[in-house]
Amino acid sequence: MAFVNSNGLNLCYEVFEAAEKRDPAPLILIRGLGTQMVQWPPAFIEYFTAAGLDVIVFDNRDVGESDKLDAAGVPDLMALLAAAEAGASFPVPYKLADMAQDVIGLMDALAIDKAHIWGMSLGGMVA
């Protein structure tokens, strides 16, 4: 595992290299809410490396070994739901767009111009 600075946060990531690379663009896998990169099944990663793709996994912000935004605290879910129901805006520590920028920052730090992106659950929205 290694770290890159992206969007002012340290993101933990790991690269799995294909033995015979068939595509210069790696596959970046993005996990769902609250899940860590270590939860990708090894056979899933091996499927893509065997097909000739490098695979990059990482911990989203606030998850696993990546930086936590503890100062932001945990939002009051009932207050958020009430505000949403009333059509009012409410403060959030970050948005999906910020998480997408984290992926772009990861790509920039690793000098990746193009990538295949695969997201699971929340990761699909980030992708």
Tally of CB atoms within 10 A around 48: 19
pLDDT digits (tens, 9 = 90+) for 21-55: 999 999 999 999 999 999 999 999 999 999 999 99
Rounded to whole angstroms, how far apart are CA atoms 68 and 47? 31
Rounded to whole angstroms, how far apart are CA atoms 28 and 24? 13
pTM: 0.90
Provide the residue type at 89 as one letter.
S
2-126 folds as Rossmann fold (3.40.50)
The pLDDT profile of the chain, 127 residues, written as one tens digit per residue, is 999 999 999 999 999 999 999 999 999 999 999 999 999 999 999 999 999 999 999 999 999 999 999 887 777 888 888 988 999 987 888 999 999 999 999 999 999 999 999 999 999 999 9
DSSP 4-24: EEETTEEEEEEEE--SS---S
Strand order across the beta sheet in which 55-58 lies: 2-6, 9-16, 55-58, 27-30, 116-119
